[in-house]
Amino acid sequence: MSNPTESLPDRITLTEGYSGRLSGRLTGERWTVGPARLSKISVGEMDNNVYVIESTDTGAVLLVDAANDAPQLVEHLRDRAPGVKEVLTTHLHTDHWIGLAETVEALGLTTIASPGDAGGIDVPTDRHVFHGDELEVGDLRLEVIGLRGHTPDGVALLLRTDAGTHLFSGDSLFPGGPGKTGSPEDFTTLMDDLESRVFDVLDDDVVVHPGHGDDTTIGAERPHLAEWRDRGW
């Protein structure tokens, strides 16, 4: 059997500019939003998205989900985001932290996760975050939004700037609906959190960056909330 990584490129191909849709594994795009420089990179066989959030003023960087392809990710960060000091894992599912141990060891990163999901991540968590907390990335402020249901204690991050607002939703919100849940009760919990903590408080132009696949906006998804409820888990 052939090694599935044999034909992978040894570097991430990064395009300047934003579309919200990547062309394949180990491709990415980078764009500037006010005081932030954002990158979205596709890794692994499940089209996982890695996000790099950088302060253009200070160079401080937060990595979101060291999901896979650690050798290429480490090289990319050393070259293009040397100010990275911390990595947040949005939830405990393995596909979101396959590359975490190698990335942390190579770069000496502080690990961040929610207390309810940290026990399911096979890398020790240095710092716990809770719903309503704020993360500082240089002069940037990221709001922590707890979104329970897909996992017991998943988190999203909200970046507000004068040039636009961006929600990094993990696997809790995608184009077309909420993330997968394991029971009707978990589905209700996730929908309740999405409505009260996301849709009830965010404007339609907020860009949603999910844990897999293409981006969307709050406005594109808002009309379908009742449909999602009716559809169920």
pLDDT in tens, 125-167: 999 999 999 999 999 999 999 999 999 999 999 999 999 999 9
List pLDDT tens digits, range 97-112: 999 999 999 999 999 9
- Helix (H) or strand (E) segment spanning residue 76: helix 70-80
In a domain, 129, yes or no: yes
Tell whether the model's pLDDT for residue 5 goes beyond 80.
no
* pLDDT band at 198; cut points 50, 70, 90: very high
Range of the domain at 82: 13-231
In a domain, 99, yes or no: yes
* pLDDT band at 1; cut points 50, 70, 90: very low
Residue 49, pLDDT score = 99
Tell whether the model's pLDDT for residue 4 goes beyond 90.
no
Nearest CA-CA partner of 53 in 157, 207, 206: 157
C-alpha radius of gyration, the chain, whole number = 17
Residue 70, pLDDT score = 99
Q: Which long-range contacts (CB under 8 A, 24 or more apart) does 128-135 make?
A: 129/88, 129/155, 131/155, 131/197, 135/62, 135/86, 135/88
In a domain, 6, yes or no: no
In a domain, 1, yes or no: no
d(C-alpha 216, C-alpha 136), whole Å: 25
The token pair at 55 is: 């302060």
pTM for the whole structure: 0.96
Mean pLDDT across the chain: 97
Residue 142, pLDDT score = 99
φ, ψ of residue 198 in degrees (nearest 5): -120, -70
Average pLDDT of the residues in 24-37: 99
Tell whether the model's pLDDT for residue 207 goes beyond 90.
yes
In a domain, 7, yes or no: no
* Contact in structure between 18 and 37 (CB atoms under 8 Å): no
CA 228 to chain centre: 22
Residue 103, pLDDT score = 99
d(C-alpha 151, C-alpha 94), whole Å: 12
d(C-alpha 106, C-alpha 103), whole Å: 5
* pLDDT band at 233; cut points 50, 70, 90: confident
Residue 6, pLDDT score = 57
- How many domains are there within the chain? 1
In a domain, 8, yes or no: no
Residue 163, pLDDT score = 98
Tell whether the model's pLDDT for residue 179 goes beyond 80.
yes
The token pair at 105 is: 């060891």
* pLDDT band at 7; cut points 50, 70, 90: confident
In a domain, 5, yes or no: no
How far from 203 is each of 1, 170, 200, CA to CA, in Å? Answer: 50, 19, 8
In a domain, 175, yes or no: yes
d(C-alpha 89, C-alpha 100), whole Å: 9
Nearest CA-CA partner of 120 in 147, 142, 91: 91
* Contact in structure between 84 and 62 (CB atoms under 8 Å): yes
Q: What is the CATH number of the domain that holds 118?
A: 3.60.15.10
* Contact in structure between 150 and 190 (CB atoms under 8 Å): yes
